[in-house]
Amino acid sequence: MTAVNARAVEPYWVVVPAAGSGKRMGADKPKQYLPLLGKPLIVHTLQNILRWPGLAGVIVAIAADDSEFGNLAEASDPRIHTVTGGAERADSVLAALEYLSTLAEPDTSVLVHDAARPLVASNDIETLIGPASAAIALLAQPASDTVKRASAENGTAVVAETLPRDQIWLAQTPQKAPLQILKDSLQAGLRENPAAITDEASALELAGYRPQLIAACRTNFKITQPADLLLAEALLTQQRTQQGEPS
């Protein structure tokens, strides 16, 4: 990442929720610790984040029973802090924000980025942290497939309607907002309608904000199921080849 001058970017913190158990992956350990080209998935994500220009620090939310994070070399990086996460992703993010409030000013910009997204493109990060983006913004992918809303009929799913595709975006991370606004919005959202708070933007929307959508590369998918690991390995191998690194 060379196009953005780190001094031209307002410093920001990154929160990495990494306290999930990876049920859909169905592996014998949480997906963030599964090997991806010889390194745990979360190591790829953290090494990527540590290269972002203007980074002030990282808070990783890990599970109360996590026995792996402390063994990683990144655990002793002075820029990386840890907190204990909670039952849902939003609880983990909130725990990190509460800790961050003891270190940073209320108007500090925070980027929340899933541990399970190792492949976010540096160009998209540059856009998100750059001067042209709004204070409250997220990476997202415009839908490329035709999108159906489903309803149940005789025990099967049927199409209720086809949604206008040009209005559909799939939310990714990072999602960016000022610390105090994000914390207040998540707290209010978890109080009022916890099931609806599946990302930061949903809490911010509920609080009346209109997050900016920044079109991002679809390689920033969230590793969720076993096939996603294969795809991520193929993309990382191709990146290494392009950069002339040994694979």
> Which residues form the interface with Mg ion (CB under 5 A)?
20
Q: Does 89 bind ligand CTP (CB under 6 A)?
A: yes
Radius of gyration of the chain (CA): 18
| 210 Cβ neighbours under 8 A, 6+ residues apart | 136
Closer residue to Mg ion in complex, CB, 136/223: 223
Q: Does 174 bind ligand CTP (CB under 6 A)?
A: no
| 53 Cβ neighbours under 8 A, 6+ residues apart | 1, 4, 5, 6, 9, 126, 129
Give the range of 68-76, 79-87, 122-130, 239-247 binding ligand CTP by CB under 6 A: 79-87
Residue 87 neighbours by CB distance under 10 Å: 9
Closer residue to ligand CTP in complex, CB, 75/135: 75
d(CA 219, CA 222) in angstroms, rounded, equals: 9
| Least gap, CB of 183 to ligand CTP (angstroms) | 16
Give the range of 100-108, 112-120, 147-155, 177-185 binding ligand CTP by CB under 6 A: 112-120
Q: Does 81 bind ligand CTP (CB under 6 A)?
A: no
Q: At what angle do helices 41-49 and 226-242 cross, to 10 degrees?
A: 50
Pair of tokens at residue 157: 């799913």
The single residue among 101, 127, 224, 239 that binds ligand CTP, judged by CB under 6 A, is 224
Closer residue to ligand CTP in complex, CB, 86/211: 86
Spatial contact of 110 and 179, defined as CB atoms under 8 Å apart: yes
Residues 4-43 that bind ligand CTP (CB under 6 A): 17-24, 30-32
Closer residue to ligand CTP in complex, CB, 62/236: 62
d(CA 177, CA 141) in angstroms, rounded, equals: 19
Residue ranges binding ligand CTP (CB under 6 A): 17-24, 30-32, 61, 85-89, 92, 114-116, 222, 224
